[in-house]
Amino acid sequence: MKNNTLFRRLLIGATWAWMALLALVPYLMLVGASFFERGTDTLVRPGLTLSNYLHLLSPTVFTMAADSVALAAVAALLCLLVGYPFAAILAHAPARIQPLLLLLVMIPFWTNSLIRTYALVMLLKADGVVNSLLLHAGLIAEPLRLMYTPVAVFIGLVYTLLPFMILPLYAALKTVDPQLLEAGRDLGAGRVRNFLHITVPLTMPGIIAGTMLVFLPALGMFYIADILGGARTMLVGNYIRDQFLVFRDIPTGSAASVTMTVAMGLLLVLHHLARRRSGKEMLP
Amino acid sequence: MVTLAGVTKQYNGHPALVDISLTVADGEFLSLLGPSGCGKTTLLRLIGGFERCTKGSVLIDGRDTDGVPPERRAVNTVFQNYALFPHMTVFDNVAFGLRMANRPRDEIAAAVNGALDLVQLHGMAARRPAELSGGQQQRVAIARAIVNKPRVLLLDEPLSALDHRLRKQMQKELKQLQRTLGITFILVTHDQDEAFAMSDRVVVMQQGRIEQIGSPREIYEEPVNLYVARFVGDINVLAGVIREKIGPNLYTALVEGVTVQLRSDRPLSLAQPVHILLRPEDFRLAVEDAATPARELPGTIRHAGLKGTVRRIFYHGATYDVEVSLENGTRIQVTEFFDEDSDTLSCTPGDRVTLGWHEGWEVVLPHEE
């Protein structure tokens, strides 16, 4: 018993230490850097300033942010539309094969997403697998232009982020008591109205969680837009990456990064508040 | 009117219901009584439309319901765990069926409030199911079903989650409700008291078959076989052999080593082995060798005189149970009522007693293995 608690403490302590050292400390450095000035010889020069944040208040940055939000929102919506039926099939599959299907959803995680994105190029390019198949099948006369289009970017985002939508939806669907659906049918609701009046409201936490889990990473996934969409669309993620790696403007990149994190944090807080309210809104 | 004609249901080749035929009259309160796994819930689900018969048919008002989904049947169900919609208020739960039927808004409001009044839940309309007690949730489930004015209300062990006192109260209220509404109620239960207290007729089931259909009194007093006799209430089963026919429906038999008279409507043949079934309250006992003057057995029960010894006495308040072992070792349970003018027990462990029963109260069944 004593060993057990020691083991637990070690395990939890190691996790905390890991998070503190590799996530919290670097992030605090980033927050610090966002208030520093850009150096000529060194990367940053100490000296408190808000100018990095003021840089962000430009029309270019606003347009870019709006584009990013729109792109992430569409990606989240596509994931929801594809993921919901997928999760429903998963949740209603025979209990024996559910673990196998879940494994199939998760296997892609075992490969780095950057590598998977390059693999998508092989599929989507003019002489890639998709076009070859369609040409051979006689469905198209000349190769479709897929690469470097918004379509390719959405394919990449949906492909990469779909598991984050499926898993919370699956968990939410599993908690819906099948007897509630029987009760709905008993009271005269067909399958469609049962779905709209019972399943959707009861899985709303999963829908919101999945949407957040797709929407927030989609805002920052610069490499997918880079590789599949070309450099024509500038997104928040690309912008931050460019500040660090191209322009070597660490303070501005830090400020953009911190601003984005704060925005995401606000979204999460709003989500939390909305959930707390929705639990009570019907009370007298 | 609900008619089941030769209904058979199999799951992967395993029979859950075998050739069930049954007619439920309009306005009747019918209980399906049996142990878990006897098929009573399957029967209810067939009527509700959640399962399809493998063979036979379910007719509601004379129409075959095969292939008719639950949402298109004039039947509503009160589910075992209520199955209230947790994301809706009590009002929205009760209004669900009427909204699905696209009824006008003011009609819905009036009907829902009426149904909530009927189950004594006025003022609870804005609550969520999670904020109600088990008994209140039960009432919401009932209101949600009856507000649709179904032809038949199906109740699947509706009271099993309630405590004893609340269950007794809800039994009375359900019965009252059924009389008020005139809806046919079909109740599934494994609780004999519940079935007896509420039903016009009880269907005793075992392993997918109907063992007996009858009024509670018929089931209790004239069980058709040992299974039914043992399932409803305590019963003593004595072994006997028919000796002589001494009149119409009257026989003498050797029962547990004693010659007694038996009455039976069934034709019995000489030397036929039989079971004699007697409820504990059918017996009377008299102490043989007590110092105090013995209670005399009344004349109507003197025709049977089993000798035995009192083993144990269990006190129950208004009654007490006496466990008697006969000379051949058979144990018999006797329920005695306290005397009107004496609150002392009529016997103590170790007493030698004579047991008799009211003439004609015995049930004689052919011997079953």
Q: Give the per-residue SS3 of B301-352.
A: HCCCCEEEEEEEEEECCCEEEEEEEECCCCEEEEEEECCCCCCCCCCCCCCE
| Chain B contact set for A185 (CB, 8 A) | 49-50, 69-71
Cα of B96 to nearest chain A Cα, Å: 7
pLDDT of residue B269: 87
pLDDT tens profile A252-266: 899 999 998 898 889
Q: Any idea what DSSP says for residue B293?
A: P
For residue A113, tell me if it sits in a domain: yes
**Whether the Cβ atoms of residue B256 and residue B330 lie closer than 8 Å to each other:** yes
- Give residue for tokens 């198949």: A133
Higher-confidence position of A238 and B215: B215
From the list A188, A190, A198, the residue facing B97 with the nearest CB is A188
Write b or e for each residue in B61-97: b if 16 or more Cβ atoms lie within 10 A of its Cβ, otherwise e.
Answer: eeeebeeeebbebebbbbbbebbbbebbbbbbbbbbb
**Whether the Cβ atoms of residue B294 and residue B288 lie closer than 8 Å to each other:** yes
Nearest alpha carbon to residue B367 among B257, B266, B233, B245: B266
Pairwise CB contact (< 8 Å): A179 & B79: yes
Across residues A55-69, what is the average pLDDT? 88
Q: CB-hemisphere CA count at 13 Å for B362?
A: 32
Q: The tokens of B252 are what?
A: 């003498």
Q: The tokens of B178 are what?
A: 């059924």
**Whether the Cβ atoms of residue B273 and residue B287 lie closer than 8 Å to each other:** no
Report the C-alpha gap between B67 and B354 in whole angstroms. 62
Instruction: Calculate the CA A37 to chain-centre distance.
Output: 32
Q: The tokens of B155 are what?
A: 């109740």
Nearest alpha carbon to residue B159 among B169, B149, B144, B146: B169
For residue A60, tell me if it sits in a domain: no
Q: The tokens of B188 are what?
A: 């599934």
| Chain A contact set for B100 (CB, 8 A) | 187-189, 193
Question: Does B76 lie at the interface with A, CB-CB under 8 angstroms?
Answer: yes
From the list B69, B85, B127, the residue facing A180 with the nearest CB is B85
pLDDT tens profile B247-286: 888 888 888 888 888 888 888 888 899 999 999 988 888 8
Across residues A198-212, what is the average pLDDT? 92
Helix residue ranges per DSSP H, A36-177: 51-55, 59-92, 98-106, 113-124, 129-136, 150-174
| Chain B contact set for A179 (CB, 8 A) | 79, 81, 83
Report the C-alpha gap between A259 and A157 in whole angstroms. 23
Report the C-alpha gap between B235 and B229 in whole angstroms. 7
Nearest alpha carbon to residue A228 among A115, A152, A123: A152
Segments forming the whole domain that contains residue A198 = 65-278
Write down the mean pLDDT value for chain A. Answer: 87
Pairwise CB contact (< 8 Å): A177 & B83: yes
**Whether the Cβ atoms of residue A186 and residue B76 lie closer than 8 Å to each other:** yes
Instruction: Calculate the CA A146 to chain-centre distance.
Output: 23
Going A18 to A20 to A21 to A27, the CA torsion angle's sign is positive
From the list A180, A193, A282, the residue facing B128 with the nearest CB is A282
**Whether the Cβ atoms of residue A231 and residue A248 lie closer than 8 Å to each other:** no
Instruction: Using the predicted structure, report yes or no on whether residue A1 has a pLDDT greater than 70.
Output: no
Distances (CA, A) of B270 to B244, B256, B263, B274: 6, 17, 14, 11
**Whether the Cβ atoms of residue B338 and residue B320 lie closer than 8 Å to each other:** yes
**Whether the Cβ atoms of residue B121 and residue B139 lie closer than 8 Å to each other:** yes
Q: The tokens of B311 are what?
A: 């083993």
Report the C-alpha gap between A153 and A99 in whole angstroms. 30
- Among A34-48, A191-205, B54-68, B139-153, where is mean pLDDT lowest? A34-48
pLDDT of residue A282: 37
User: Domains of chain B by range and CATH?
Assistant: 2-230 (3.40.50.300), 236-366 (2.40.50.140)
The complex's ipTM? 0.81
Report the C-alpha gap between B350 and B252 in whole angstroms. 30
Mutation site, A176, A186, A203, interface B, largest B CB count within 10 A:
A186
Q: In this prediction, what percent of chain A has a pLDDT beyond 70? A: 95
Pairwise CB contact (< 8 Å): A188 & B86: no
Amino acid identity of residue B45, one-letter, is: R
For residue A268, tell me if it sits in a domain: yes
From the list B97, B126, B128, the residue facing A187 with the nearest CB is B97
Q: Any idea what DSSP says for residue B81?
A: T
Instruction: Calculate the CA B209 to chain-centre distance.
Output: 16
Mutation site, B79, B89, B138, interface A, largest A CB count within 10 A:
B79
C-alpha R_g of chain B: 25
Which residues are registered as beta bridge partners of B294? none
- Give residue for tokens 């051949």: B328
Cα of A183 to nearest chain B Cα, Å: 6
Mutation site, B68, B77, B153, interface A, largest A CB count within 10 A:
B77
Q: Which residue of B has its CA nearest to A185?
A: B71
Pairwise CB contact (< 8 Å): A189 & B77: no
| Chain A contact set for B50 (CB, 8 A) | 182, 185
Nearest alpha carbon to residue B72 among B101, B115, B112: B101
Q: Which residue of B has its CA nearest to A182?
A: B50
| Chain B contact set for A184 (CB, 8 A) | 85, 96
Instruction: Work out how many CB contacts closer than 8 A connect A with B.
Output: 63
CATH number of the domain residue A268 falls in: 1.10.3720.10
Report the C-alpha gap between A114 and B85 in whole angstroms. 44
Q: Which residue of B has its CA nearest to A279?
A: B87
Residues in contact with B243: Cβ distance below 8 Å, sequence separation at least 6, in sequence order: B251, B252, B253, B254, B259, B270, B271
From the list B85, B87, B101, the residue facing A188 with the nearest CB is B101
C-alpha R_g of chain A: 23
Cα of B85 to nearest chain A Cα, Å: 7
pLDDT of residue B236: 92
pLDDT of residue B17: 93
**Whether the Cβ atoms of residue B85 and residue B94 lie closer than 8 Å to each other:** no
**Whether the Cβ atoms of residue A120 and residue A156 lie closer than 8 Å to each other:** yes
Pairwise CB contact (< 8 Å): B89 & A284: no
Amino acid identity of residue B267, one-letter, is: P
From the list B126, B144, B145, the residue facing A284 with the nearest CB is B126
Instruction: Using the predicted structure, report yes or no on whether residue A281 has a pLDDT greater than 50.
Output: no
Question: Does B138 lie at the interface with A, CB-CB under 8 angstroms?
Answer: no
pLDDT of residue B344: 63
Q: The tokens of A225 are what?
A: 């837009």
pLDDT of residue A239: 87
- Give residue for tokens 């009344």: B298
pLDDT tens profile B213-255: 999 999 999 999 999 999 988 899 998 999 988 888 888 888 8
For residue A46, tell me if it sits in a domain: no
Interface of A with B (CB under 8 A): 177, 179-180, 182-190, 193, 197-198, 201-202, 282-284
Amino acid identity of residue B20, one-letter, is: I
| Chain A contact set for B48 (CB, 8 A) | 186
Interface of B with A in 87-126 (CB under 8 A): 87, 89, 96-97, 100-101, 126
Pairwise CB contact (< 8 Å): A182 & B79: yes
- Give residue for tokens 């859950």: B16
Question: Does B85 lie at the interface with A, CB-CB under 8 angstroms?
Answer: yes
Tens-digit pLDDT profile for chain B (369 aa)?
Answer: 899 999 999 998 889 999 999 999 999 999 999 999 899 999 999 999 999 999 999 999 989 998 899 999 999 999 999 999 999 999 999 999 999 999 999 999 999 999 999 998 988 999 999 999 989 999 999 999 999 999 999 999 998 888 888 889 989 999 999 999 999 999 999 999 899 999 999 999 999 999 999 999 999 999 999 999 999 888 999 989 999 888 888 888 888 888 888 888 888 888 899 999 999 988 888 877 655 444 556 665 666 678 889 999 888 888 889 999 988 888 999 998 876 665 566 788 888 888 888 878 889 999 887
What's the total number of domains in chain A?
1
Pairwise CB contact (< 8 Å): A183 & B77: yes
**Whether the Cβ atoms of residue B282 and residue B358 lie closer than 8 Å to each other:** yes
Q: The tokens of A46 are what?
A: 């100490």
pLDDT tens profile A64-109: 889 889 999 999 999 999 999 999 999 999 999 999 999 998 888 8
Sheet strands (E) in chain B: 2-11, 14-24, 29-33, 55-60, 63-64, 75-78, 152-156, 184-189, 201-206, 209-214, 236-247, 250-255, 258-263, 273-278, 283-287, 306-315, 319-326, 331-337, 352-357, 363-366
Q: Which residue of B has its CA nearest to A280?
A: B128
